Amino acid sequence: MKNIKGKKAVVVTGGSSMRNSGTLDRAVAFLAEAGIEVSIFEGVEEDPSSTTCLKGAEQIQAFGPDWIIGLGGCSAIDAAKIMWVFYEYPDIDFDTITKPFTVPVLRNKAKFIAIPSTSGTGTETTGLAVITDREKGVKYPIVSYELTPDIAIVDGEICASMPAHVTSNTGLDVLTHCVEAYVSNIENNYADALSKGGLELVFDNLKEVVKNPNNIKARQNMHDASFMAGLAFNNAWLGIVHSLSHQVGALYGIPHGASNAIFLPNVIRYNAQVTNRYPDLAKVIGKETAEDLAQEIEILRSEVNNKSSIKEFGISKEVWEKNLDFIANNALIDPCTGFNPRVPTLDELKSIYNACYEGVVFSEEVVK
């Protein structure tokens, strides 16, 4: 960061973890050495809202930086990306950019640096930001290559203070990215190699970092896996695991990686009817079939202390059934659905949702 050329930078961060760990102060000090004046926007919440993004954009607009820096978890970086859009285009409408690839050309005023403190979304290298509209109860994946950061600093030491449950959730998110990018309906050799490599790193390191958070080598391996998975899905995009997850995250506040890990095994079973790609991933971890892969993911999910059903988050059957059509419809039109190897119907998504709510194995017979 000492080598950045510019006059002003805004650092966007979350709650207090980056300040408490000293990482924020270090970043500001390095920028000062580069002769850069710094403004800090703190307080980005989990599942950042469009309201927060607009608030941050106002501060950025008043300061006039030539660098915007997202520092911390994926929420801080995602919010910083959308603040960047509003900074460069103050009059743009949020609903407009929720449509895939509609973000206008950026870098007219500022460039972007991402410094992740969690090993999960890969947002430090992707053209994706996930933002929640609290009034509508909808989580929007904003998709555009314009949002890909100019610089990513992938430093495993920054993750050492990450709590075990966050390490587990974000690590399972990495795993989901690897699997979905590999079976996407976009064929891409780069994505394939990165997905396999990332998958292997997750299975080799996630249990260790949950158990021994100060193992910096394992931390760096997971951070690298997150980055690799981000590169993979930036080339091939994601599927219905994310479409399903976005909705329960927005409506029920279920952590993204946790819901991904619940949906992923059953989506593998659903998609395996039309793609023969899953056995390739099973072989990476010494197994053979799509069902083997699904079961190994369920075992890993349990070993890192993650829940196996949606109802374990305290959502009653009555509330679930009341909102099922709403979330299934939103999942059907989610941008990620278009890259899934199997084209789903509304009833099929509802069947997957119901199986995952109960924590049972999805069956084609249920749909029929």
Q: Tell me: the pLDDT tens digits for 24-61? A: 999 999 999 999 999 999 999 988 999 999 999 999 99
Asked if pLDDT for residue 175 goes beyond 80, the answer is yes
d(CA 368, CA 363): 9
Q: Could you give the C-alpha distances from 192 to 19, 205, 273, 281, 352, in angstroms and in order?
A: 37, 20, 20, 10, 26
**3-class DSSP string for 87-135:** HHCCCCCHHHHCCCCCCCCCCCCCEEEEEECCCCCCHHHCCEEEEEECC
pLDDT for 331: 97
pLDDT for 366: 67
Rounded to 5 degrees, what angle do the CA atoms 256, 218, 162 make?
45
Asked if pLDDT for residue 100 goes beyond 70, the answer is yes
**Tokens coding 155:** 């430093």
**Tokens coding 238:** 């994601």
Residue type, 215: N
How many residues belong to the chain? 368
Mean pLDDT of 353-358: 98
**Banded model confidence at residue 221, pLDDT cuts 50, 70, 90:** very high
Asked if pLDDT for residue 368 goes beyond 70, the answer is no
The whole model's pTM is what? 0.91
Q: Could you give the C-alpha distances from 340 to 47, 112, 118, 210, 240, in angstroms and in order?
A: 24, 30, 26, 30, 6
Tens-digit pLDDT profile for residues 107-136: 999 999 999 999 988 999 999 999 988 888
Q: How many CB atoms lie within 10 A of CB 269?
A: 20
Mean pLDDT of 280-296: 98
Closest of 105, 88, 103, 182 to residue 140, by C-alpha: 103
Q: What is the mean pLDDT of the chain?
A: 95
